[in-house]
Amino acid sequence: MHKKIKSALISVYHKDGLDEIVKTLIENNVTLYSTGGTQTFLESLGAKVVPVEDLTTYPSILGGRVKTLHPKVFGGILARRENQSDIAQLESFQIPEIDLVVVDLYPFEETVASGGTDAEIIEKIDIGGISLIRAAAKNFGDVVVIPSKQQYSMLLDILKTQACATSVEQRRLFALHAFNVSSHYDTAIFKYFNAKEDISVFKQSVNDHRGLRYGENPHQKALFFGKFDEMFDQLHGKEVSYNNLLDIDAAVNLIRDFEQPTFAILKHNNACGIASRPSMVQAWKDALAGDPVSAFGGVIITNRPIDGQVADEMNTLFMEVCIAPSYSDDALKVLMSKKNRILLVIKNIELPQFNFRTALNGILCQEKDSKVESEQDLRVVSNSKPSPSEVKDLLFANKIVKHTKSNTIVLAKGDQLLASGTGQTSRIDALRQAIEKAKSFGFDLNGAVMASDAFFPFADSVEIAMQAGIKAVIQPGGSIKDQDSIDFCNQNQMSMVFTGIRHFKH
Q: Which residues are catalytic?
A: 138, 268
* Integer CA distances (angstroms), 283 to 194, 272, 289, in order: 44, 14, 10
Secondary structure (DSSP) of 400-463: HHHTSPSS-EEEESSSBEEEEE-S-SSHHHHHHHHHHHHHHTT---TT-EEEESS--SSSHHHH
State whether residue 114 is helix, strand or coil.
coil
Q: Are 459 and 484 in contact (CB under 8 A)?
A: yes
Q: Which residues pair with 68 in a beta bridge?
A: none
State whether residue 492 is helix, strand or coil.
coil
Q: Are 184 and 207 in contact (CB under 8 A)?
A: yes
Non-local (6+) Cβ contacts of 379 within 8 A are 477, 497, 498, 499, 500
Interior angle at CA 283, CA 280 and CA 284, nearest 5: 90
Closest CA to 426 of 464, 457, 468: 457
Non-local (6+) Cβ contacts of 91 within 8 A are none
Interior angle at CA 159, CA 157 and CA 165, nearest 5: 130
Q: From CA 79, how far away is CA 136, in angstroms rounded?
A: 10
Q: From CA 428, how far away is CA 414, in angstroms rounded?
A: 24
Phi, psi at 271, each rounded to 5°:
-75, 125
Burial (CB < 10 A; 0-12, 13-18, 19+), residue 259, is: exposed
Q: From CA 314, how far away is CA 325, in angstroms rounded?
A: 16
* Integer CA distances (angstroms), 385 to 132, 388, 410, 458, 487, in order: 70, 9, 20, 21, 14
Phi, psi at 39, each rounded to 5°:
-60, -45
Q: Which residues pair with 475 in a beta bridge?
A: 498
Neighbours of 357 (CB within 10 A): 9
Interior angle at CA 235, CA 233 and CA 240, nearest 5: 75
